[in-house]
Chain A
């Protein structure tokens, strides 16, 4: 540890730290633009110049290593003079856009100009102008004259997103930040550059000109999309969600969110929002009130139970639903005497598991992995924030091995990529196990041939100390998923790695714990979608896009006598009989359990639109109408509390989570490739987010077919 004196205070900090780190620790603010704790040091804005005793010139705090006994003054005359001169230089070419600039009110240049700028300018020459650029539907680069060349966006692309999409071309006064000759910024993490940009050069295109930051209320929430459970700040004006930005949580999403989390809010006021219950009568949809709709559903369920038995009733639920919604839906189905409920809409195989499948390790630990094997996943697009953590691990020497149908660009070096058609993944993974067995002198769990790639992967996994075997969405939805899991377990055991699933959705782990799985004798999702139900309850899902059955789902559900769709949107119109408007995540309180088992609750940030109601309330009222006992809940918190004995934990207790498997290994090829959703087709919200659907990723995979072809 080194001790320095900063503004008269003694500060102890580890060797190799910069003066800026010491200032952070001491709670002293040193003005800066280009420094960011998650990015490399650039030292080009020169705003953090401080007075270091014995140094002839002012030194940049972000790039000056601490030395024992160093005396630093951040507010001496010399320091202030330097900081003020830099501020003057920054303002001479900066356009006087504050009144029309989106960044106004949350602009670091404004804030520091108050402290270090003059009240008038002595620059009376021409200001240089930078032409606007079109880089895609998410980031607005209309006023690049505002850019102060801090290069945070460039470094973010290079270091965090893994693709350098923005660079600084030309030099001197003509230096400008742009993409390479007319290309767009396509990274799935690109929206973070909007947060990083200290001025109004990079702004949010969807949010442009819609509100001033001081008009917005800030409310905490959790992302309903992937299993990271990224913490969000949802900003609201007049009961409308205007913008979503990250809430810093070092252990989960650090200070980032994916574009999917950031821009999906546009779907919330889509024209497809369902604002009132609807009934299909005589082939026509009619708007009705809640009482009518719910009585219709209750009567229908009673009727069908009488005529066809309770086992003909079932619920297909989205794993993007909250714990409370899932729990009450399950309780309702079971209260009617059925065990037919399932969240595994895209699965091809339905094995019961003794414990909830999850990541197998903490999300934060992904950043420190030394060896990892990813099986059946488009890591970068399916789990942008997990991929970002692994990308950082690679910089510290982590070796990434992958088994996939193809090798999509993950913006990180992949040490060994084993490409095999998805239908043959069990054999391919068995080959890796065979190579491992040979290296360790043990019996392999299944026969196979250890080719060069398999041996390379095995060798890689035998090195290092912190290791993980991670199964992706394609592996989870695979027709031989249990065989893949069994092999993954064996490999993990032999190499000292953790084993787990990346898990597809915000509440995939939670769904397993909330009873959204069929009980003894119950139908699984595949059977229900194939036409096994006479009464189907669809919770927040659009089976044609969300299930493995695809178009066939519509035919299967057509066989039912009553299909009740609970959704924020007008959807499933062809085969539904009742549409009940429910609240999306912003309009309801709820809880998600993320991939690592972290229990994260959130409140509603706006009132439900139109006649929409939180789904858990709909279930409560429906259960009351059906005369089912035990549904007297006043709040979502009550529901959550009722699910637990002895208080709601912050993390799911370890005894409920586990990835062990004793399944047999079936080496025969699967009959078809697994069904996966591409990044912007994952759930109903994302599919209706207008700006996200204009991105390169969305346009490339406009149909589920395109995603499937990738697995052939």
Chain B
């Protein structure tokens, strides 16, 4: 069996995940069918028009303010700011604001990096974007590079989706051949080189500074901040890092304007968002819907809870976000502010649905194991704490829990939070605290009765 045979088993065909036709007002996934990823297909659906508009190569009249065709760097950044596009990788930081941190007049190389490490458990949206619409990321990055005066960029794609990395390399070749990348793009004064790089299998390399370290060829261990990447990033130079989906959102914003993007969503949460819905639903997949879509609607798009079972709990934004019980999530809309108000975070938008056949202790066991396994080991609270949490949850799941364990877990998790070099510590701690907070009774049951609250026959459904 060749390497490619092995890889093929894991290549997304997209049929299940994003060609289901159940998106609502999609921008990134619109019109994709798996075969129309090439440059000519992308151009046929309006691709690279945004870039032409920015560079003043779309034949429209010169800007009355500047007297020049195209948009200025400031105009691009302001547009993105006003669109209320927020980082789609998990932190939800306002993208326009992040772009404005880059120093304008820097006498050296600056870098633009796309974070396609997509390691957050439950997330598979970026994989499909790279596989089936790679050019939208390329176009978004060129526009971003123009806005910040950057001439070299990298897309760091995690090594587990090697086929997507190869696909993206092909797309890069197409873009270079067509003159969208390289020197003096489309006859403008702007030059931009974009390269793809792949990771080697570590969740921690999704952390922006660990990603930079990995890109530099070093061990993927996060750097302490300050200094921030905008002052000291790749190779010590000013760098902006954004998520795949964030860059993919940029062309639509440029073509249709910031107001339109904002109105797609709701105030402070502009545009659409792709949710990777997995777990106990009939039709798991990637769903692109406007910001502010009620959770109930998203659940409906995914076919509702499978086999007609009852919804128990949902992790709304990837395993690092605190779990929300059914009663709370059903009242929420899917956007940063609503989920945050409910006590969780939108994160990467990986929605993990759990029905009443799921034991929360077992779920937490799997989650805690993940963080203990992926901790880079650099700083004390995370290195020691994630192992401690995982071992205690193991004990409880294995029928050897003690009454003091719940408070112990909560306290250990609290001791990790805010005291680590990067957010992995917080990401490990928050699920623990949320599970104890909302489902303490299940843990108590495990300790007292040494078995699951979910009856054995039910859990095997």
Contacts and interface: CB of A to CB of B under 8 A. Distances in A.
Interface in B349-403: 372-381, 383-388, 391-392, 395
Given A126-B391, A173-B375, A173-B387, A58 B419 contact: yes
Contact of B415 (A64, A89, A149): A89
A55 to B, nearest CB: 10
B264 interface: no
A229 interface: no
A172 B375 CA distance: 5
B408 A57 contact: no
Contact of B380 (A41, A123, A148): A148
Interface in A40-80: 41, 43-47, 49, 56-58, 60, 63-65
B12 interface: no
Tell me which of B374, B384, B392, B415 has the highest count of chain A C-beta atoms within 10 A of its own C-beta.
Answer: B384
A44 B419 contact: no
9 contacts: A46-B419, A46-B420, A64-B226, A65-B226, A89-B383, A172-B372, A172-B375, A172-B387, A175-B377
A28 to B, nearest CB: 21
Interface residues of B, number: 30
B421 A43 contact: yes
B313 interface: no
Given A46-B419, A58-B418, A126-B391, A175 B224 contact: no
Tell me which of A86, A123, A168, A171 has the highest count of chain B C-beta atoms within 10 A of its own C-beta.
Answer: A171
B164 interface: no
Contacts of A63: 224, 226
A515 to B, nearest CB: 56
Interface in B253-289: none
Given A125-B395, A173-B372, A45 B379 contact: yes
Given A57-B419, A171-B204, A175-B383, A149 B378 contact: yes
Tell me which of A89, A90, A122 has the highest count of chain B C-beta atoms within 10 A of its own C-beta.
Answer: A89
A89 B419 CA distance: 12
A123 B377 CA distance: 19
Contacts of A49: 419
A57 B423 CA distance: 12
Contacts of A45: 379-380
A123 B419 contact: no
Contacts of A125: 388, 391-392, 395
Tell me which of B375, B377, B381 has the highest count of chain A C-beta atoms within 10 A of its own C-beta.
Answer: B377
A128 interface: yes
Nearest to B385: A89
A171 B419 contact: no
Contacts of A89: 380-381, 383-385, 388, 415
Given A171-B375, A171-B376, A172-B373, A82 B408 contact: no
B122 to A, nearest CB: 21
A85 interface: yes
B202 interface: yes
Contacts of B415: 85, 88-89
Contacts of B418: 56-58
Given A171-B375, A172-B376, 16 more contacts: A43-B224, A43-B421, A46-B381, A46-B421, A58-B419, A60-B224, A65-B226, A85-B419, A89-B388, A92-B388, A123-B388, A125-B395, A149-B383, A168-B219, A172-B375, A173-B383
B185 to A, nearest CB: 37
A41 B373 CA distance: 26
A93 B372 CA distance: 14
Contacts of B384: 89-90, 92-93, 173
Contact of A86 (B373, B377, B378, B381): B381
A89 B377 CA distance: 12
Contacts of B387: 93, 128, 172-173
A174 interface: yes
Contact of A172 (B374, B380, B421): B374
A656 B65 CA distance: 77
A44 B381 contact: no
A592 B217 CA distance: 48
Nearest to A125: B391
A170 interface: yes
Contacts, number: 92
Nearest to A168: B377
The DSSP consensus for interface residues of chain A is loop
A173 B371 CA distance: 11
Contacts of B377: 149, 168, 170-175
A284 B373 CA distance: 72
Contacts of A171: 202, 204, 374-377
A309 B391 CA distance: 88
Nearest to A62: B224
Nearest to A122: B408
Contacts of A90: 380, 384
B286 to A, nearest CB: 30
Nearest to A91: B384
A58 B133 CA distance: 43
A49 B416 CA distance: 12
Contact of B379 (A46, A58, A85, A126): A46
B236 to A, nearest CB: 13
Nearest to B377: A175
B368 to A, nearest CB: 12
A175 B420 CA distance: 16
A133 B408 CA distance: 35
B419 A82 contact: yes
Contacts of B385: 89
Nearest 10 pairs of A and B residues by beta carbon: A175-B377, A57-B418, A85-B415, A172-B375, A89-B384, A125-B391, A173-B387, A43-B224, A171-B377, A44-B379
A427 B224 CA distance: 53
Interface in B217-267: 219, 224, 226
B184 to A, nearest CB: 36
A128 B379 CA distance: 16
A95 to B, nearest CB: 14
A434 to B, nearest CB: 38
Contacts of A93: 384, 387
A587 B188 CA distance: 80
Nearest to A81: B415
A436 to B, nearest CB: 33
A620 to B, nearest CB: 60
Contacts of A123: 388
A172 B386 contact: yes
Given A85-B419, A86-B419, A149-B383, A44 B375 contact: no
B397 to A, nearest CB: 14
Tell me which of B204, B376, B379 has the highest count of chain A C-beta atoms within 10 A of its own C-beta.
Answer: B379
A159 to B, nearest CB: 15
Contacts of B391: 125-126
Contacts of B408: 122
A63 B378 CA distance: 15
A154 to B, nearest CB: 11
A220 B226 CA distance: 42
A44 B425 CA distance: 13
Contact of B383 (A41, A43, A58, A172): A172
Interface string A160-191: 00000000101111110000000000000000
A523 B2 CA distance: 81
A126 B400 CA distance: 14
B342 to A, nearest CB: 21
Interface in A78-130: 82, 85-86, 88-90, 92-93, 122-123, 125-126, 128
Contacts of B419: 46, 49, 57-58, 82, 85-86
Contacts of B202: 171
Nearest to B374: A172
Interface string B420-445: 11000000000000000000000000
B281 to A, nearest CB: 32
Nearest to A43: B224
Nearest to A85: B415
A149 B379 CA distance: 8
